[in-house]
Amino acid sequence: MMLTLYRNAVLTATMIALLSSPRLVAQENAAPTPAANLGLAATQEPLPASQPQADALTFEEVLEQYNENEVTITRLFSSSPIGFPKRQIEHMAKIDRLKEKNRQLKTQLDAAALLSFQQSANPSPRVCQTVFNIISKKIDISRSGYDFDPEHALEVAKLMLAKMDQVGELSAKIRLEDIAYQGFIAANATENYPDAEAMLKRIEEQKVSLQPAIRNDFEDSVTKWNREQEKRNLENLSNDLPRVTLETSEGEIIVELFENEAPKTVGNFIHLVENKFYDQMNFFLVLPGRIAQTGCQDNRGTGDPGYKIPCETEGDNVRHHFSGTLSMANSGTDTGGSQFFISYQRNKNFDGKKTVFGRVISGMDTVRRLNRVSSTGSLTLNPGKQGNYSKILTATVTRKRNHDYQPTKITEKKSE
């Protein structure tokens, strides 16, 4: 059976009135929350407008080109020269070229809309909707993953709120609470809890009722995050935790291992690294906004090193899942072995089920560049990438404590 991983769920802003727990294969993107007086970070000054280039197209010009191409694509589809193979190949090539052009125009359209929004005292409803959609795309984990960028989503949400504070209503279809809720999700994705709290306050000022679970989950995450920060401060003082460098096809990732809380898991991981188990290992499951998983030789989620190790998920000393967390994949208690994953953001539903044994201290930008691979095993390449999985080229232990590191094995596979 494939090792089980759960998915985050992101609620859309239009679901604020309902705020039912997101249905997911495995995990909700429940908002974490600070409980202190955190200020009004969500009402910061808008981002400085980028300088327009002399040859840059306006929003209306880009939109016109895009719509013209869509009309042409539709016409070409309806007039395919069926029965003439050579002409049909040429015909489909035209359609593919127009589709690629429109993919590029979509990016230009977002940039042009953002620039127009910043420069106009009263941006048009169409511009406002396009800018709002930028936020949605940057936090939407159901998309292909290329656009996942919660930091940028939060910046745009702040920009829209600042504009709304200046001019009032932006569009009849865009409410302040919609923008603030999207900003709330974006802030949570990067553990920016002061801004998340400020976004919640903006929603509450609109007399919009949020389910208690939103606040409760948020405050629980903030409590755990504050505890995590205390632990990291102590670890920085001792400065002796083991470290491993993962040289990947997309760049370098440096991880620090939580030997104090998960000594058995760390012992197993270092043992495997030193025996070159992870070298040339694919990231066989990459879901931007959720997780990036590796450590399986068959790329199907069923592989292990020939034994199982115990979970370390109980007690007051365990760590929790935040962005950059390393955690063991498993199909139940004490079924881990070699497969591990890196979380892109807070994964509260993994707490107590998957052993947290480390965190990325450098290279989260590399993690975000990994080629997306769905749970069905289909590879969706990032733009400009070659047709292969992202992989660990080499894994190297760069620091460890002065003792032997060995796995604590639960079961050995019998040789055939």
Tally of CB atoms within 10 A around 271: 16
254 located within any domain: yes
Cα separation, 299 vs 160, whole angstroms:
43
Does residue 72 sit in the same domain as residue 193?
A: yes
Say whether pLDDT at 32 is over 80. no
87-96, 104-113, 248-257, 383-392: least confidently modelled range: 383-392
- Find out whether 248 and 392 touch, Cβ atoms under 8 Å: yes
24-33, 186-195, 264-273, 371-380: least confidently modelled range: 24-33
For the record, the structure tokens of 78 come out as 């309806």
Percent of the chain at pLDDT exceeding 90: 62
- How big is the CA angle at 188 (ends 185 and 194), to the nearest 5 degrees? 115
Cα separation, 307 vs 312, whole angstroms:
16
Phi, psi values for residue 408, rounded to 5°: -95, 100
Does residue 197 sit in the same domain as residue 167?
A: yes
Handedness of CA 179, 184, 190, 194 (dihedral sign): positive
Does residue 182 sit in the same domain as residue 271?
A: no
Say whether pLDDT at 39 is over 80. no
Does residue 253 sit in the same domain as residue 184?
A: no
- For residue 111, the enclosing domain spans 31-218
Q: What is the pLDDT of residue 301?
A: 82
Q: How confident is the model at residue 196 (pLDDT cuts 50, 70, 90)?
A: very high
Residue type, 362: S
Q: What is the pLDDT of residue 31?
A: 36
Q: What is the pLDDT of residue 87?
A: 85
Does residue 284 sit in the same domain as residue 198?
A: no
Q: Write out pLDDT tens, residues 132-163.
A: 999 999 998 776 556 789 999 999 999 999 99
For the chain, give the number of residues.
416
Does residue 189 sit in the same domain as residue 272?
A: no
Cα separation, 11 vs 21, whole angstroms:
8
Cα separation, 285 vs 344, whole angstroms:
13
Say whether pLDDT at 42 is over 90. no
What are the CA-CA distances from residue 337 to residues 42, 262, 265, 266, 385 (Å)?
Answer: 43, 14, 9, 11, 30
**End residue of a domain, out of 162, 187, 218:** 218
Does residue 214 sit in the same domain as residue 250?
A: no
What are the CA-CA distances from residue 373 to residues 136, 142, 231, 281, 406 (Å)?
Answer: 22, 13, 33, 14, 31
Domain count of the fold of the chain: 2
51 located within any domain: yes
407 located within any domain: no
Q: What is the pLDDT of residue 146?
A: 65
**End residue of a domain, out of 165, 186, 218:** 218
Does residue 63 sit in the same domain as residue 202?
A: yes
Q: What is the pLDDT of residue 43?
A: 42
Cα separation, 139 vs 358, whole angstroms:
25
Q: 252: which strand partners?
A: 247
For the record, the structure tokens of 236 come out as 């920085």
Cα separation, 405 vs 336, whole angstroms:
17
Q: What is the mean pLDDT of residues 99-103?
A: 91
Q: What is the pLDDT of residue 377?
A: 60
Q: What is the pLDDT of residue 50?
A: 45
Q: What is the mean pLDDT of residues 48-69?
A: 72
Tally of CB atoms within 10 A around 224: 18
Q: How confident is the model at residue 415 (pLDDT cuts 50, 70, 90)?
A: low
What are the CA-CA distances from residue 105 to residues 49, 133, 195 (Å)?
Answer: 20, 15, 32
Does residue 279 sit in the same domain as residue 366?
A: yes
Say whether pLDDT at 13 is over 60. no
2 located within any domain: no
Q: What is the mean pLDDT of residues 62-87?
A: 88
Using alpha carbons, select from 28, 34, 32, 33 the residue that is nearest to residue 15. 28
Does residue 288 sit in the same domain as residue 254?
A: yes
Contacts of 56 (CB under 8 A, 6+ apart): 112, 115
Cα separation, 281 vs 303, whole angstroms:
12
Does residue 251 sit in the same domain as residue 120?
A: no
Does residue 199 sit in the same domain as residue 295?
A: no
Cα separation, 252 vs 273, whole angstroms:
15
Cα separation, 62 vs 174, whole angstroms:
23
Using only the alpha carbons of the chain, give its radius of gyration. Answer: 24
Cα separation, 69 vs 89, whole angstroms:
19
307 located within any domain: yes
Q: Write out pLDDT tens, residues 207-249.
A: 888 889 999 999 999 999 999 999 999 999 999 999 999 999 9
Q: How confident is the model at residue 26 (pLDDT cuts 50, 70, 90)?
A: very low
Cα separation, 62 vs 114, whole angstroms:
13
Q: Write out pLDDT tens, residues 345-358.
A: 999 999 999 999 99
Q: How confident is the model at residue 274 (pLDDT cuts 50, 70, 90)?
A: very high
226 located within any domain: no
Say whether pLDDT at 4 is over 80. no
Domain of residue 393, CATH code: 2.40.100.10
The burial of 303, by beta-carbon neighbours within 10 Å (0-12 exposed, 13-18 middle, 19 or more buried), is given as middle
Percent of the chain at pLDDT exceeding 70: 81
165 located within any domain: yes
Higher pLDDT, 19 or 379: 379
7 located within any domain: no
